Amino acid sequence: MARAFLIVLDSVGCGGAPDAADFGDTGANTLAHIAQACAAGQAEVGRSGPLALPVLDGLGLGAAIRLASGAQTPGLQAVPSGRWGAATEVSRGKDTPSGHLELAGVPVPWEWTYFPKTTPAFPDALVEQVCALAGTQGILGNCHAAGIPIVQNLGPEHLRSGWPICYTSADSVFQIAAHEQAFGLQRLYDLCAELAPILHDMRVGRVIARPFSGDAQQGFARTGNRRDFAIAPPAPTLCDWVQAAGGRVLAVGKVGDIFSGQGIDEVHKGKDDMELYAHLLRLIDTAPPDSLTFCNFVEFDSLYGHPRDVAGYARALEQFDTVAGQALARLQPGDMVVFTADHGNDPTAPGTDHTRERVPVLVAGTGEGEIGHCAFADVAASIAAHLGVPAQGPGRSFLP
């Protein structure tokens, strides 16, 4: 019996991308800079001391960072007992869809469309289409923004006017924030679903529904009902390969949305990463033979990377390391687990956007040894080889 668990720690990059300068990210290194800040006593909020990740470092995390970038990794010096390496992306993006599609064996073959102007961000014709679909006289925002501050700033005006809050970032994305009760959650989903084909035709990667609740007196907070309307994969992915061979694909977090439901049998969501961790541990106990469990844990990125919260990012990594230990202790014979990431989001870098980086590849259940440098698509080919599934695309298995 063989099973595979592909666990994406959203934005947990390890530096060293050879084309980082093309993206304005020279020197970015999410993991190394967090480790260095912790060792220097610069990440003492809610935690203390050097970065402590004994489980992931035991698999080869520190070694993978050093391989990827040559950076110092204080606190992460274990001799690896797993299979480890660092993966380099070829798709021309540093975003969620590009990273996940390529990890699933399908590099993105096109250039994404972005909205480079910060204010106003969107062309008039697109704004008119949003207003027509929303039934409003205008939109709020129309700018580059981080999600939490823009909701706090424009929430009162949104409640007064009923206009949706629309914003973007350096990624190929169109985000719509709206109050769950006042605007309506289903109305927000319907608006995004109707707008998505228009933006996908423009090669914009995602339309994201960002519901929130609260009021001007108590403040506003995003809820756990986010939904991504992503462009469909351009070719069959690892998920489709597993399905075609008779296996089941179980998606945890936003994976089902990222792949537009293509190749997904079950979706397991939660209000936060803690709830998603519980799904992962349960599925390690219950996932059927020949299955792929594909997880994304987003809060490293959304709560700590974009807000540039080094201490918070370190806390989240240390918390997950405990979960990783619990996961490894529950594995069954024939299980393969891959811990990796989809891009970087260095909390010490300027700005609030993702950073172009290599990502660690840590594998449990298939022996030990250095993978070396590999491609994102090699992750899919290796999982397919473990499951005995025919692989497609450019990836090559790094399993012996």
Q: Strand ranges (DSSP E) for 198-355?
A: 206-215, 219-222, 227-230, 249-252, 266-268, 292-297, 335-340
Cβ contact 255:264 at 8 Å: yes
Q: Are strands 83-88 and 369-375 parallel, antiparallel or unpaired?
A: parallel
What residues form the annotated binding site? 10, 301, 306, 342-343, 354
| Strands in 172-218 per DSSP E | 173-179, 206-215
3-state SS, residue 31? helix
Cα 204 to Cα 110, 115, 127, distances in angstroms? 11, 9, 15
Task: Provide the 8-state DSSP code for 362.
Answer: E
- Nearest 5°: the CA angle 44, 146, 171 is 110
3-class DSSP state of 151: helix
Determine how β-strand 335-340 pairs with β-strand 3-9: parallel
* β-bridge pairing 165-168 and 140-144: parallel
Binding residues for Mn(2+), by number, are: 10, 301, 306, 342-343, 354
| Closest-CA residue to 172 (of 103, 245, 91) | 91
Length of the chain: 400
3-state secondary structure of 42: coil
d(CA 226, CA 31): 27
